[in-house]
Amino acid sequence: MTSLATAHDTVLVLNSGSSSVKYQLVDPVDGTPLASGLVERIGEDTGVVTHKHDGSVTKREQPIKNHTEALEVVLALFDEVGPNLAEAHIVAVGHRVVQGADVFAGPTLIDDQVQQDIAALSPLAPLHNPPNVEGIAVGRRLLAEVPHVAVFDTSFFRTLPPAAYTYALRKDVAEKYSVRRYGAHGTSHEFVSQEAARVLGRDAAELNTIVLHLGNGASASAVRGGVAVETSMGLTPLEGLVMGTRTGDIDPAVVFHLARNAGMDIEQIDHLFNKESGIKGLSGENDFRELHKLIAAGNEDAKLALDVYIHRLRKYIGAYFAVLGHVDVIAFTAGVGENDHVVRELVLEGLEPMGIEIDPAKNEPRSGDARIISTEQSRTTVMVVPTNEELAIARQVVDVISA
């Protein structure tokens, strides 16, 4: 981190979840994070705030009733610990919003109407848009002097062809209730596909890329010449890959079965699928570092969880090869994708006949840099490309306010 001695313009990026606010003050030109942090356990007895600035970490534990208090605590920390926001040349606040549906084609300057329109999309993203809107409302109130911009997780997937985004559901019902696939994590997929091309010294328009965003949430995308043509998340971020706590793909009849036979209502099933399933549901842990420890100790549930996770990923990779025809790049990103060489190896193991060959000597070492991990002969270049959603959001924010 650097100090503000050579102050550029900055953007404050806010990612407001139901019980957390993640923030970063970032230079949108060179990507330097001037400060970052996380407010967790909003609404619980004890909230936790972690603020990072200039190499130091400040941690506070105190009750944080709601998102207003969360942002107030963050602004107070900027005052106390730095950087001084009055001197930080903040040109705008960028808000991550999960669902923009077909209402928002791209990043949008927020006014009262836009805020209402984002709130109106909440039925399509009931777990995400309401806290996103709350963050926007609080942000606009407490930082009223700068423009606020919404950056949507769905925008990058607006280019999906109808064959990819349409569910085979009765047409009138699908249309009336806006039921289609929208995708999510788009900011990351766009950033990583472009970054992969940049690192290779190629134009994104020349490359077919599969991006595997493997964090606590996980999604895959197929990007043809810089344009997204398929992705694994659907109406909501529940569809697709096995995730930390989400089922990913599951027969929808499981919902009927549980409702009829387990006496569970829709809210309980929603919670079960989103919060208590996935790797955690199978093994008791959702952090891959813990999962590997359990496997090493001989835990069969953990082993099966990893097997299911890898199997689902391999099916998606095969499918996206068929969608794209040929694949120039496979890019791993996010917490698991960037750090877990075992997952990367298992996902692509034995795919030499498809032209994919990982080099263990490149795959195993840890590094924070974008890098190639395939052999020279591999027809598909396999890469690890760290995602940077805050920087990607900040850049989109600057595009909007300079337009």
Question: Cβ closer to ligand AMP: 51 or 185?
Answer: 185
What is the rounded distance in angstroms from the CA atom of residue 149 to the CA atom of residue 347?
A: 37
Q: How far apart are CA 43 and CA 40, in angstroms?
A: 9
Residues that contact ligand AMP, how many (by CB under 6 A): 12
- Rounded to whole angstroms, how far apart are CA atoms 97 and 321? 30
Q: What are phi and psi of 93, to 5 degrees?
A: -110, 130
46 DSSP 8-state letter:
S
Query: Hey, how many other C-beta atoms are within 10 angstroms of the C-beta on 226?
Result: 17
User: What contacts 106, CB < 8 A, 6 or more positions away?
Assistant: 152, 155, 158, 396
What does residue 8 show for φ and ψ, rounded to 5 degrees? -95, 175
From the list 94, 234, 237, 244, which residue makes contact with ligand AMP (rule: CB under 6 A)?
Answer: 244
Q: Which listed residue (91, 335, 351, 391) binds ligand AMP by CB under 6 A?
A: 335
| Residue 288 engages ligand AMP in binding (rule: CB under 6 A) | yes
- The interface mask with ligand AMP, positions 259-278, x = CB under 6 A, is --------------------
Closer to ligand AMP at the Cβ: 260 or 366? 366
Cβ distance 42 to 20 under 8 Å?
yes
Concatenate the DSSP letters of all residues of 123-180 into one string.
GGSTTTHHHHHHHHHHHHHHTTTS-EEEEETTGGGGG--HHHH--SS-HHHHHHTT-S
Q: Does 334 bind ligand AMP (CB under 6 A)?
A: yes
* Residue 45 is among the residues annotated as catalytic for this protein: no
**Is the CB of residue 216 less than 8 Å from the CB of residue 244?**
yes
- Interatomic CA distance for residues 336 and 250, integer angstroms: 22
CA 101/CA 121 separation, integer angstroms:
7
CB-based closest residue to ligand AMP: 335
For residue 37, the minimal CB distance to ligand AMP (Å) is 14
Listed ranges 80-88, 228-236, 252-260, 334-342: which one lies at the site for ligand AMP (CB under 6 A): 334-342
33 makes contact with ligand AMP (CB under 6 A) = no
**277 vs 339, beta carbon nearer ligand AMP:** 339
The nearer residue to ligand AMP, 117 or 285, going by C-beta atoms, is 285
- Sorted by sequence, the CB contacts under 8 Å of residue 47 that are 6+ apart come out as 39, 40, 41, 61, 62, 63, 64, 70, 73
Between 27 and 389, name the residue whose CB sits nearer to ligand AMP: 389
Give the one residue of 243, 336, 373, 394 binding ligand AMP; rule: CB under 6 A: 336
Rounded to whole angstroms, what are the CA distances from 243 to 187, 247, 261, 303?
A: 18, 7, 26, 15
Residue 78 within binding range of ligand AMP, rule CB under 6 A: no
- Cβ distance to ligand AMP smaller for residue 270 or 287: 287
C-beta separation of 373 from 363 below 8 A: yes
Tokens of 41: 């356990």
Q: How many residues does the chain have?
A: 403
Options 39-47, 114-122, 283-291, 344-352: segment touching ligand AMP (CB under 6 A): 283-291
**Closest distance of CB 346 from ligand AMP, Å:** 13
Among residue numbers 199 through 218, which ones bind ligand AMP (CB under 6 A)? 215-216
Active-site entry in 9, 153, 328, 340 = 153
Asked if 340 touches ligand AMP (CB under 6 A), the answer is yes
- Is 320 near ligand AMP (CB under 6 A)? no
Among 287, 345, 352, 399, binds ligand AMP (CB under 6 A): 287
Here's the x/- map for ligand AMP, 160-199, by CB under 6 A: it reads as ----------------------------------------
Q: Any contact of residue 237 with ligand AMP (CB under 6 A)? A: no
Smaller CB separation from ligand AMP, 247 or 378:
247
Residue 296, exposed/middle/buried by CB under 10 A (0-12, 13-18, 19+)? exposed
- Of the pair 283, 286, the CB lying nearest ligand AMP is at 286
Torsion of CA 292, 297, 301, 302, to 10 degrees: 0
Nearest distance, CB of residue 166 and ligand AMP, angstroms: 29
Please pick, from the candidates 132, 339, 363, 396, the single residue that binds ligand AMP as defined by CB under 6 A. Answer: 339
Does 345 interact with ligand AMP (rule: CB under 6 A)?
Answer: no
Residues forming contacts to ligand AMP in the complex (CB under 6 A) are 215-216, 244, 286-289, 334-336, 339-340
Active site residues: 153
